[in-house]
Amino acid sequence: MLNITWFEYQENQNSVSWLEQSIITCMSHYRALLADDHALVRAGIRNALQDLPNLEVVGEIADGKELFQTLAQVTADILLIDVTMPEFEPFSAIQSIRQQYPKMKILVISAHDDDIYVQGLLAAGVNGYHLKDQSLRDLRLAVEQVLAGKRWLSSRLLDKLLQATHTREELPAVSNRQLEMLELLNQGLDNRAIATRLDVSIKTVENHLTRLYRILGVQSRLEAVHYLQKHPKLLQNNPTPYPLASVPPVYPSYNRNNAILIVDDNQRYRTQLSRLISKNYPDLQILEAGDTQSALANANNYTVCLALVDVVLADEDGLRCTRRLKASHPKIRVVLMSAYPDREFHRQGMQAGASAFVDKKDLDIHHLRQIVEDALGS
């Protein structure tokens, strides 16, 4: 049913095109193509889009050659694509697709957030750029916005693209209390520890952090800490009334022989996660790997008690990595991570030997502490 108020009709009664467009929007049925060389990622995207009743996935592609063949055979309204597929040169290929299919919308879904890379693809003709580590809700919104004829950029990308023009005065203004909490987040403290340090209630901490995230344009603790690392002048613009760094944090102490292994093909994410863990567990050794081979090498050379493994790795999947880790080192506790949590991923992960499955966007220090301390038997 077309919902148009009398006020809207009166305001637009002389515009036939407005009424026609409203009817068309309600009746539109869109056809989508998914292009990503990882079957698991395609499955996650497809499942995420099932809630959009007017969208049908009409094809899945795993490489550039197959993509051009499919585009010649299938009419699509939107292409959701990871431009790092095999046999696909991002910039020239996107330009070619835009020239051949000018009416088709193109939404890039990528793990890469380099601003030069993003700007190049936008200039080549894509309608939006969405980061894989964002929520499924944001992905659905991105698709809706692009189909509606609007541009889409993930909030973190927008911040990066604007960063070059930000002056010291243009950085967001946060209260002293919020800045204190941001510094404590940077030290790796959870809500309860922050409340104890500042002598306030946990609810007060939650309220301040909610407002802080909104001001910074982030969605999690990990993103807030990353924002601070990218904008060190924020501390200069908002000096704190208390020298927090002079208060020594209290860390749990564990055997240095224990190691935590982070397996993710995104080096920046590995580094962020490694820093977050090491701030809370300085006695633990943090190892990093980008693929199964490196993960196994680390497991053979160190006493790994916990492995955090991304479901999607560069040329393979984290399920295979999990199986091989558990086969050679059955005592390692494996926790799978995904930007696209899905029941089928969870089921396959448990069959592969994983102990748990977590959504990347929820992986803050509180959840990490639970995971780490479970693995250490605390």
Q: Do 182 and 74 share a domain, yes or no?
A: no
Amino acid residing at 205: V
The DSSP code sequence of 291-313 is SHHHHHHHHHHSEEEEEEEESB-
| In a domain? residue 251 | no
Provide, rounded to the nearest whole percent, the portion of the chain with pLDDT above 70: 80
What's the whole-number mean pLDDT along residues 132-153?
Answer: 89
Q: Is-contact 143 49, C-beta < 8 A?
A: yes
CB atoms within 10 A of CB 175: 13
Per-residue pLDDT tens over the stretch 30-77: 999 999 988 888 988 998 898 888 999 999 999 999 999 999 999 999
Q: Is-contact 85 36, C-beta < 8 A?
A: yes
**Whole-number pLDDT of residue 171:** 65
Amino acid residing at 293: Q
| In a domain? residue 134 | yes
CB-based contacts of 233, cutoff 8 Å, min separation 6: 168, 171
Q: Given pLDDT bands bounded at 50, 70 and 90, which one contains residue 238?
A: low
Q: Is-contact 52 144, C-beta < 8 A?
A: yes
Q: Do 198 and 271 share a domain, yes or no?
A: no
Q: Any idea what the CATH number is for the domain that residue 294 is in?
A: 3.40.50.2300
**Whole-number pLDDT of residue 169:** 43
Q: Do 105 and 85 share a domain, yes or no?
A: yes
Predicted model pTM? 0.49
Round to whole Å and give the CA distance between 210 and 228: 16
pLDDT at 2 over 80: no
286: which 2 tokens? 């943090």
Per-residue pLDDT tens over the stretch 4-13: 443 343 444 4
**Whole-number pLDDT of residue 103:** 94
**Whole-number pLDDT of residue 27:** 46
SS (H, E, C) 206-218: HHHHHHHHHHHCC
Q: Any idea what the CATH number is for the domain that residue 197 is in?
A: 1.10.10.10
Q: Do 57 and 147 share a domain, yes or no?
A: yes
188: which 2 tokens? 């790796």
Q: Do 15 and 129 share a domain, yes or no?
A: yes
CA within 13 Å, CB half, 319: 13
Mean pLDDT (the chain, rounded): 79
Q: Do 275 and 209 share a domain, yes or no?
A: no
**Whole-number pLDDT of residue 235:** 63
Q: Do 92 and 147 share a domain, yes or no?
A: yes
- Report residue 126 CA to chain centroid gap: 20
Q: Do 109 and 147 share a domain, yes or no?
A: yes
Round to whole Å and give the CA distance between 305 and 377: 10
Round to whole Å and give the CA distance between 164 and 258: 41
Q: Do 122 and 26 share a domain, yes or no?
A: yes
What's the whole-number mean pLDDT along residues 131-138?
Answer: 82
| In a domain? residue 208 | yes
Q: Which of 246, 276, 307 is the last residue of a domain?
A: 246
Unique residue bearing structure tokens 């920046």? 268
Amino acid residing at 363: L
| In a domain? residue 152 | yes
- Report residue 372 CA to chain centroid gap: 22
pLDDT at 94 over 80: yes
| In a domain? residue 253 | no
| Closest listed residue to residue 306, CA positions, set 360, 365, 371 | 371
CB-based contacts of 45, cutoff 8 Å, min separation 6: 34, 36, 80, 109, 139, 340
Round to whole Å and give the CA distance between 318 and 349: 8
| In a domain? residue 252 | no
The DSSP code sequence of 212-241 is HHHHHT--SHHHHHHHHHH-THHHHHS--S
CB-based contacts of 28, cutoff 8 Å, min separation 6: 54
Q: How far apart are the first and last CA of the chain?
A: 57
Q: Do 203 and 63 share a domain, yes or no?
A: no
Domain of 359 in residue numbering reads as: 258-375
Q: Do 186 and 77 share a domain, yes or no?
A: no
| In a domain? residue 168 | no
Q: Which of 181, 211, 246 is the last residue of a domain?
A: 246
Q: Do 11 and 114 share a domain, yes or no?
A: yes
| In a domain? residue 119 | yes
**Whole-number pLDDT of residue 221:** 77
| Closest listed residue to residue 364, CA positions, set 228, 220, 198, 236 | 220
- Cβ burial of 134 (10 Å; 0-12, 13-18, 19+) is buried
Q: Is-contact 311 349, C-beta < 8 A?
A: yes
Which three-class secondary structure state does DSSP give residue 359?
strand
Per-residue pLDDT tens over the stretch 256-265: 468 899 999 8
Q: Is-contact 235 180, C-beta < 8 A?
A: no
Q: How many structural domains does the chain have?
A: 3
Q: Which of 132, 163, 194 is the last residue of a domain?
A: 163
**Whole-number pLDDT of residue 212:** 85
